[in-house]
Homo-oligomer: A and B are copies of this chain.
Amino acid sequence: MKKEMRKKYILEYAKKYFSSRGYYETHIEDIISDAKIGKGTFYRYFKNKEELFISLLVEFLNEWEDFVFKDLLSIPPANYREFMHTLVFKSLTFFRTYEDLCNIYLRIAPGLSTIFGPYINSFEDKMLGHFKNVIEDGRAKGYMRDNLDLEFCSNVIAGAFLRIDYYYFVLRYKNDTSLNVHVLADRLIDVLIGGLGSAEWRSMTSQLENSPADPQR
């Protein structure tokens, strides 16, 4: 259907501009001129600039859940370690793959809270919810320390994730093409196990401690 294609087109260019320039420095003019459509046409697809931006926030949300959790939850990994690895790896890959969308969500949108606050909160809640489930699940299986505050820990995980994303994929990525997502994933798991894992699990993986930080996969 041609109409849908056109909308996708608009979203594509909007993404590019919002990500690189921010909300207010992106003008409808920029987008429609790249998308080669008229100004009036744009307003047939989106009520206004806000709605366009919100579409991208929603897209981010959907893509994220899809990419990171869809398979992970429907086809559960063999064991918790595998689960953790998949989660971490998929998350980092997502950040790298959907660079613009993540940029918009993580860097651009938070500064616009008055209008877009609800959408940010929605992602926050979902993300933390998923992390809480992961921790609870891990706890039930004895992999996670049970003396830790659930909300606090899910925030630590979120912080680590988002920061790694921001640093390696937003700020530095362009300068360091040697970056290997697997390496980052392993490092992150290593630290998370140390920080949140039970003594039992830690000991199971303690050989890591004296081996190179970036083990072969």
User: Is A107 an interface residue, CB under 8 A from the partner?
Assistant: yes
A4 CB, min distance to chain B CBs, angstroms: 21
A180 CB, min distance to chain B CBs, angstroms: 12
- Contact (A148, B187) CB under 8 Å given A160-B160, A195-B195: yes
- Of the listed stretches A70-78, A83-91, A151-159, chain B binds A151-159
- Of the listed stretches A21-29, A35-43, A57-65, A94-102, chain B binds A21-29
A171 CB, min distance to chain B CBs, angstroms: 7
Decide: A209 and B213 in contact? CB cutoff 8 A. Answer: no
Q: How far is the CA of A73 from the CA of B110 in the complex (A)?
A: 33
User: Is A210 an interface residue, CB under 8 A from the partner?
Assistant: yes
User: Is A197 an interface residue, CB under 8 A from the partner?
Assistant: yes
Q: Contact flags (1/0) for A128-160 with B, using CB distance below 8 Å?
A: 000000000000000001011100110110111
User: Is A48 an interface residue, CB under 8 A from the partner?
Assistant: no
Q: How far is the CA of A159 from the CA of B158 in the complex (A)?
A: 8
A92 CB, min distance to chain B CBs, angstroms: 12
Decide: A156 and B160 in contact? CB cutoff 8 A. Answer: yes
User: Is A11 an interface residue, CB under 8 A from the partner?
Assistant: no
Q: How far is the CA of A156 from the CA of B213 in the complex (A)?
A: 15
User: Is A181 an interface residue, CB under 8 A from the partner?
Assistant: no
Q: Which of B22, B114, B155, B192 makes the CB contact (< 8 A) with A111?
A: B22
Decide: B147 and A209 in contact? CB cutoff 8 A. Answer: yes
User: Is A206 an interface residue, CB under 8 A from the partner?
Assistant: yes
Query: Which residue of B is nearest A163, CB measured?
Result: B159
Q: What B residues does A121 contact at CB under 8 A?
A: 171
Q: How far is the CA of A171 from the CA of B210 in the complex (A)?
A: 39
Q: How far is the CA of A121 from the CA of B124 in the complex (A)?
A: 25
Q: What B residues does A166 contact at CB under 8 A?
A: 159
Decide: B159 and A162 in contact? CB cutoff 8 A. Answer: yes
Q: What B residues does A196 contact at CB under 8 A?
A: 191, 194-195
Which 10 pairs, one residue from A and one from B, show the smallest C-beta to C-beta distance?
A159-B163, A195-B195, A111-B111, A24-B24, A159-B159, A194-B195, A191-B195, A108-B111, A159-B160, A107-B110
